[in-house]
Amino acid sequence: MNWNWESNSQYLAQIGHFLGAALFVLVAGTFWGPPLPWGIIAIGVAVATLKEFLLDLLPSPYGEGDSFVDSIVDWTFYILGGVVGSALFEVAVHLHRFAS
């Protein structure tokens, strides 16, 4: 297995999915929270699900032509990023309340 992550587009894509979801949650929480705006996060999950399991599975001229397994992996990294973003937001809120 090649561990040279910067030359492997799949690793870079997973980092992008993870960081994109984490940033989405942190920005949503900053503008609409605390508490975390679960309705906004549910919309983010729905959009990621539609993108990965509908759009990306389409053939090349309209979608990416991904396999179902690729879409599952991409969607999983979206969810992991959202979970980490939620945890970071909750820690920040807790520390802010503790410091006040």
- Least confident span in 44-48, 54-58, 76-80, 83-87: 54-58
In the structure, what pLDDT confidence band is assigned to residue 62 with cuts at 50, 70 and 90?
confident
Give one DSSP letter per residue of 22-76, joined into a string.
HHHHHHHHHHH-SSP-HHHHHHHHHHHHHIIIIITTS-TTTS----HHHHHHHHH
Query: Which pLDDT belongs to residue 16?
Result: 94
Which one has a higher pLDDT value, 47 or 67? 47
Domain extents for the chain?
Answer: 11-99
Closest to 22 measured CA to CA, from 84, 72, 70, 76: 84
Average pLDDT over residues 86-98: 93
pLDDT of 1 over the 90 cut: no
